[in-house]
Amino acid sequence: MHPLAYIALGANLGDRDQNLAYARKRLAALPGSRVVAESSVEETAPVGTVPQGAYLNQMVALETALSPRELLAALHRIENDAGRVRMVHWGPRTLDLDIVRFGDVHIDEPDLVIPHPQIEHRDWWQRELTELGAGQ
C-alpha cells in the first residue's frame, strides 16, 4: 500500500464546482494513484487582504506511488491546465491544490513544506481532515 496524501482543493474563479470536479478527475488519473476519500465541499472566505470572492474548498485522500516532489509537480500541471495564473500571493484563482499531509513525511524546503505550515490557521482544513479520518 502506498502512502496517503491529503490534497486541499480550492477555487474562487469561473465555475468553482466544475474546477473542483476537474481537479478530482485529474488527481484520480495520476500514475500509481487513486482517490480513496473526498470531504464535503464547503464555501469559505478568502485568506489575505486581496479583494476577491468566496472559495469552494474540499480535501481528498489520495493513495499515491508518486514522491512528494512528483506529486507537487503534478499538482502544478493540473493548476496550470485549469487556467491558474500566479500573479498575486493569496490572490483569486481558478484552482489551488496544496499538499496538506503526505503519510508520515516531513519536508522543510523553500518550495515544499510538509505537513503544510498553514494547517493550524485554516479551520476548514481541520474540519476536512477530521471528516476524512485524519484529524489533528
Q: Is position 84 annotated as part of the catalytic site? A: yes
Phi, psi (rounded to 5 degrees) for 28 = -65, -25
Phi, psi of 23 (to 5 degrees): -65, -45
Specify whether 81 is catalytic: no
Q: Which residues are CB-neighbours of 79 under 8 A, at least 6 positions away?
A: 93, 94, 95, 96, 97
Residue 15 annotated to the active site: no
Q: Is 96 a catalytic site residue?
A: yes
- In the set 16, 98, 101, 122, the catalytic residue is 98
In degrees to the nearest 10, what's the CA dihedral of 76, 12, 61, 24?
A: -70
Q: Which of 16, 93, 101, 122 is catalytic?
A: 93
Active-site annotation holder among 16, 26, 96, 101: 96
In angstroms, the CA 4 to CA 87 distance is 31
Among candidate residues 84, 86, 104, 122, the one labeled active-site is: 84
Q: Enumerate the active-site residues.
A: 84, 93, 96, 98
